[in-house]
Amino acid sequence: MDKNDQLGLAPFDASDYLDNEETIAEYLAAALENPDPDAFLMAIRDVAKARGMTAVAEKTGLGRESLYKTLKPGAQPRFDTIRRLLGALDVRLNVTTTLHTQS
The percentage of residues in the chain with a pLDDT greater than 70, rounded to a whole number, is: 92
Q: For residue 86, count CB atoms less than 10 angstroms from its CB and return exposed for 0-12, middle for 13-18, buried for 19 or more.
A: middle
**Does residue 11 lie in a domain region?**
no
**Does residue 6 lie in a domain region?**
no
Instruction: Give me the sign of the Cα torsion angle 3, 39, 28, 64.
Output: negative
**Does residue 100 lie in a domain region?**
no
Q: For the chain, what is the domain count? A: 1
**Does residue 5 lie in a domain region?**
no
**Does residue 8 lie in a domain region?**
no
Residue 11, SS3 per DSSP: coil
pTM, rounded to two decimals: 0.82
- What is the pLDDT averaged over residues 56-78? 94
**Does residue 95 lie in a domain region?**
no
- C-alpha span between 47 and 95 (Å, rounded): 20
**Does residue 51 lie in a domain region?**
yes
What are 18-43's pLDDT values in tens digits?
Answer: 999 999 999 999 999 999 989 999 99
Domain holding 42, by residue range, is 18-88
Query: Would the pLDDT of 97 be above 90?
Result: no
**Does residue 62 lie in a domain region?**
yes
